[in-house]
Chain A
């Protein structure tokens, strides 16, 4: 199992450009998440999904969009990149059993710089 994979690893964008960060998991997890981590800070939840076709906002959703057409994939879209979106982005997944305490499995991260 590859677990959670993210592409690209690094990207530099110009202000106003758009891009999609890809996330795929091969563990048949129902829940998937996108976090961002700014320097010296903890991770903040951007969006999450509880299953194919279902997404919801997290703590910092502005400037982002997501979709979940399959169980495996959960892409994150930036439409108009801004310097404030310079961050490291982590995708994660979990198998939510309905019993609290489910472990989240993280991807390696995408380092994005917007200039």
Chain B
């Protein structure tokens, strides 16, 4: 069985401060991992995927297979980063996603 855990339900940071959203997973094979984001009154959308190894909107995430983690980081948070963030895992079959419970990020001015 595959499982994704996001231990923080809410992260509150000040503008310009670093922010790190934790994501841990359990999966017996080699997973594909994603971060999806939902801004207020918008649809859930892809932020980044580990296979692309890219930085989007200043966010990066590193897959650590030893610690089974895929934490999302941004060195300087902006107010527009306030949103709900979901870590998701895709296993080997069917393009199916397993989501974590989500972390709400609030960036204060």
Q: Which of A48, A90, A106 contacts B94 (CB 8 A)?
A: A48
Q: Is A40 an interface residue (CB 8 A)?
A: yes
A-B contact count (CB 8 A): 57
Cα separation A96 to B98 with both chains bound (whole Å):
17
A101 engages B49 (CB within 8 Å): yes
A101 engages B90 (CB within 8 Å): yes
Q: Which of B52, B96, B101 contacts A41 (CB 8 A)?
A: B101
B44 engages A31 (CB within 8 Å): no
* Majority DSSP secondary structure for residues of B touching A: mixed
Q: Is B55 an interface residue (CB 8 A)?
A: no
Q: Within 8 Å CB of B90, what residues of A?
A: 100-101
Cα separation A101 to B106 with both chains bound (whole Å):
28
Cα separation A15 to B34 with both chains bound (whole Å):
37
Q: Is A82 an interface residue (CB 8 A)?
A: no
Q: Known contacts A42-B86, A43-B86, A96-B95: does B32 contact A101 (CB below 8 Å)? A: yes
B95 engages A45 (CB within 8 Å): no
Q: Within 8 Å CB of B49, what residues of A?
A: 101, 103
| 0/1 interface trace, chain B 38-53, chain A, CB 8 Å (1 if under) | 0000011110010110
Q: Give 27 CB contacts A-B under 8 Å.
A: A31-B95, A33-B97, A35-B99, A40-B9, A41-B101, A42-B86, A42-B99, A42-B100, A42-B101, A45-B97, A48-B94, A48-B96, A50-B94, A56-B94, A100-B32, A100-B51, A100-B92, A101-B34, A101-B90, A103-B49, A104-B95, A104-B97, A106-B43, A106-B44, A106-B45, A107-B43, A108-B43
Additional A-B contacts beyond A50-B94, A101-B34 (9; CB < 8 A): A41-B102, A42-B4, A45-B96, A45-B98, A94-B95, A101-B51, A103-B46, A103-B49, A108-B43
Give B contacts to A, CB under 8 Å. 4, 6, 9, 32, 34, 43-46, 49, 51-52, 86, 90, 92, 94-102
